[in-house]
């Protein structure tokens, strides 16, 4: 039976996000599986894995806010900004808790951040890490990011444990490097745990081994979130039968279907009996079907 939903996986250290997808694909026995928001092999924590028609919503989950617990070690700088790289500088550390707390507000808000050289970003069609490993000298342009909160969890010199809340595209490795340069002795990211990705939290996640057991015991539904869980902070519209048909055929919905949501450009759409139909997008002509999920009344009865 095809699964349409989201598994909130607690990715372990040492494997890639694609490895996680491959494992879930085997467990579920279906091909249409993807993830929202890559985690480096050295990082652990929340990795939403989407199955079936939920994969069509990956872009929205990837764009959601994220939270991390970062372990930053001062006094050692590496070329990759983390423990995987070569040490390029070492310095003595004489920082205090107050020194760090005073510097953190400078990193809050909308800003430009330069990604690490050893990252998966593409420059002229090639991954940065490929070019860096080939010894090429690169001038990587900074990218706009947003950091919403930085909270010190622990400071035991030379190691800082920091909670980070940020938007899409933020490199915590770059934050560690930039903070080290701002404070003087340099720093690198020693460990990283993603504690939240959109609505998916570490507390509600499941390990791959536990998910494998759930599949063997046919209890996987207990851990499968509905596709629209990724969009619950959006406004929603309930469509009558006529407008549901229009949406399925990609037809413009009449102005009367806009309800009271004129200030919003995207809406969750539901049938009168509660099935999630997909996403509507508003333009100058009215509400257009943007993402249509092929749900049927029979789907609503099978426990998914």
57: left (phi over 0), alpha (psi -120 to 50) or beta: alpha
Annotated active-site positions, please? 40
SS3 9: strand
Among residues 5, 20, 10, 55, the alpha carbon closest in space to that of 204 is found at 10
Q: Alpha-carbon distance 99 to 96, whole Å?
A: 5
Residue 187: Cβ-neighbour burial (10 angstroms; 0-12, 13-18, 19+):
buried
The contacts of residue 197 (CB under 8 Å, 6+ apart) are 36, 37, 46, 47, 48, 61, 64, 66
Roughly what angle, to the nearest 10 degrees, separates helices 208-216 and 17-28? 10
CB contact at 8 A, 192 and 224: no
Q: Alpha-carbon distance 30 to 14, whole Å?
A: 25
SS3 130: helix
The contacts of residue 286 (CB under 8 Å, 6+ apart) are 252, 253, 254, 255, 257, 258
CA 84 to chain centre: 22
Q: How far apart are the first and last CA of the chain?
A: 10
């Amino acid at each position: 039976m095809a699964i349409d939903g989201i598994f909130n996986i607690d990715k372990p250290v040492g494997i890639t996000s694609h490895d996680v997808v491959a494992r879930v694909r085997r467990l579920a026995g279906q091909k249409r599986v993807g993830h929202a928001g890559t985690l480096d092999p050295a990082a652990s924590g929340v990795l939403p894995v989407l199955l079936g028609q939920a994969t069509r919503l990956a872009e929205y989950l990837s764009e959601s806010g994220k939270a991390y617990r970062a372990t930053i070690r001062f006094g050692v700088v590496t070329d990759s900004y983390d423990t995987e790289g070569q040490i390029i500088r070492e310095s003595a550390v004489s920082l205090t808790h107050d020194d760090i707390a005073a510097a953190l507000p400078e990193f809050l808000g909308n800003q430009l951040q330069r990604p690490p050289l050893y990252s998966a970003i593409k420059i002229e069609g090639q991954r940065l890490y490929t070019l860096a490993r080939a010894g090429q000298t690169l001038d990587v342009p900074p990218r706009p990011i947003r950091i919403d909160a930085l909270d010190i969890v622990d400071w035991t010199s030379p190691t800082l444990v920091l909670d980070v809340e940020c938007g899409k595209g933020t490199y915590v490795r770059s934050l560690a490097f930039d903070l080290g340069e701002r404070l003087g002795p340099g720093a690198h990211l020693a460990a990283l745990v993603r504690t939240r990705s959109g609505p998916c939290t570490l507390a509600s996640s499941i390990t791959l081994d536990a998910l494998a057991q759930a599949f063997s015991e046919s209890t996987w539904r207990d851990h499968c979130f509905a596709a629209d869980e990724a969009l619950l902070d959006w406004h929603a519209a309930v469509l009558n039968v006529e407008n549901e048909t229009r949406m399925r055929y990609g037809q413009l919905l009449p102005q009367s279907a806009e309800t009271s949501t004129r200030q919003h450009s995207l809406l969750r759409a539901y049938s009168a009996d509660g099935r999630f139909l997909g996403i509507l997008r508003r333009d100058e002509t009215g509400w257009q079907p943007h993402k249509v999920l092929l749900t049927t009344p029979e789907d609503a009865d099978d426990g998914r």
